[in-house]
Chains A and B, each alone.
Chain A
């Protein structure tokens, strides 16, 4: 009985999680400019090679096209096979998501919505104010925001320069972890880890990117 109790207790403890502790730091606390902000500053088109892994096994390699416009907070994206077959096309504005093409498994509403959430997490600066800033247990910078509907978002910078975006549930469970490349272009390499009941990871390598002038839209 005691053994069973201890086993259950250890499983419960293992399943519990909490937000990483943030310690005050003279370099960060109270200095919002010290918080990393890798996010897109102007309307930009990105083309990435994306490798999707589920349960440690590569399940798909695809090309992802994203146009992110931070001013209007609109996203357009397309996913296609290396052969050019488009199996997902969608756009998102503050008023909603419009899916213009979705072949399986992207025809599942949760899959499509989750993917748009991931893209928004990667490219757009959160609108919520920073509630707390400091350093973590390894000396990394952490700037924390709270979502009005529940949950937390940490944007931090490791000591090696890599930027991490981490979304937590209200209870502090890590839901998404995004690591961006150190260096001049954080979107040169993106690693996303989703911790859901069906976890997956995306490894994105930049093929090309370019700023999209508003004039380019006039003819469309």
Chain B
């Protein structure tokens, strides 16, 4: 269950780094301080899933919202709508069924709760405290944070995660999750807004 939860966790957690300024190799403390200045985030995203079976990447699009201290909405719009909401320690997942959104009450929802509980910790800048990954920073034309699994429990699931951060405007441009030689998930963030006023009801249950 834990390994199953790690991948979406990683995606969400890394997205939460979107507004972290570019950092030096040993500057995770500064990242943590900068995280505390973020009160809200919003962005569109385009996800491209590459697999051996696919002749071209499977493209998904959606929206992401965050409000301090621990409210998250991760919403896929296409090709299938799904919404994960974490608010005040409770997490829910909704899926499209029969033209309406219904709450997912299967084990998948429980997995997402584990995911989002850990997200809250990362939102406080504790992303190096997660023993699941080793984090390192590589400076270049852009800053790349690389997360590498520390244990074998993720073997065959995730080889590494790369977060590309713009040095110019200090926002994450891309998250790349490498699952193996022939499979990866790349998420490009667009229209990122830091500390925007979020629409009312962003983190409320979907009726």
Q: Decide if A77 is an interface residue (CB 8 Å cutoff).
A: yes
Distance in angstroms from B157 CB to nearest chain A CB is: 9
A212 contacts which of B11, B55, B80, B185 (Cβ < 8 Å)? B55
Are B51 and A61 within 8 A (Cβ)?
no
A81 contacts which of B52, B53, B108 (Cβ < 8 Å)? B108
15 of the cross-chain contacts (CB-CB < 8 Å) are A51-B97, A58-B98, A59-B106, A61-B96, A61-B97, A63-B80, A81-B8, A83-B8, A83-B74, A83-B76, A84-B47, A85-B8, A86-B51, A104-B107, A207-B79
Within 8 A of B (CB), among A93-108: 101, 103-104
The contact string, 1 if C-beta is below 8 Å from chain A, for chain B 40-70, is 0000000101011111001010000000000
B55 contacts which of A58, A84, A101, A210 (Cβ < 8 Å)? A210
In the complex, what residue of chain A is closest to B1 when comparing beta carbons? Answer: A104
In the complex, what residue of chain B is closest to A58 when comparing beta carbons? Answer: B97
Are A49 and B106 within 8 A (Cβ)?
no
Residues of B within 8 A of A67 (CB): 53
In the complex, what residue of chain A is closest to B112 when comparing beta carbons? Answer: A83
Name the interface size band of chain A. 20 to 34
Chain A contact surface mostly: strand
Distance in angstroms from B170 CB to nearest chain A CB is: 27
Interface residues of A (CB under 8 A from B): 45, 47, 49, 51, 58-61, 63, 65, 67, 76-78, 80-87, 89, 101, 103-104, 207, 210, 212, 216, 220
- Interface hub of A49, A76, A82, A212 (most chain B Cβ within 10 A): A82
A76 contacts which of B53, B60, B156 (Cβ < 8 Å)? B53
Are A61 and B82 within 8 A (Cβ)?
yes
Alpha-carbon distance A26/B165, docked complex (angstroms): 71
Are A85 and B4 within 8 A (Cβ)?
yes
Are A65 and B11 within 8 A (Cβ)?
no
Within 8 A of A (CB), among B171-207: 179, 183, 185
A-B pairs, 5 with minimum CB distance: A82-B82, A82-B80, A61-B95, A58-B97, A207-B79
Are B53 and A77 within 8 A (Cβ)?
yes
In the complex, what residue of chain A is closest to B83 when comparing beta carbons? Answer: A82
Q: Decide if B81 is an interface residue (CB 8 Å cutoff).
A: yes
Q: Decide if B7 is an interface residue (CB 8 Å cutoff).
A: yes
Residues of A within 8 A of B7 (CB): 85
B53 contacts which of A65, A85, A103 (Cβ < 8 Å)? A65
In the complex, what residue of chain B is closest to A85 when comparing beta carbons? Answer: B7
Residues of B within 8 A of A45 (CB): 53-55
Alpha-carbon distance A49/B108, docked complex (angstroms): 17
A84 contacts which of B49, B53, B96, B102 (Cβ < 8 Å)? B49
B58 contacts which of A65, A103, A210 (Cβ < 8 Å)? A65
A80 contacts which of B11, B49, B97, B106 (Cβ < 8 Å)? B49
Residues of A within 8 A of B74 (CB): 83
Alpha-carbon distance A61/B4, docked complex (angstroms): 17
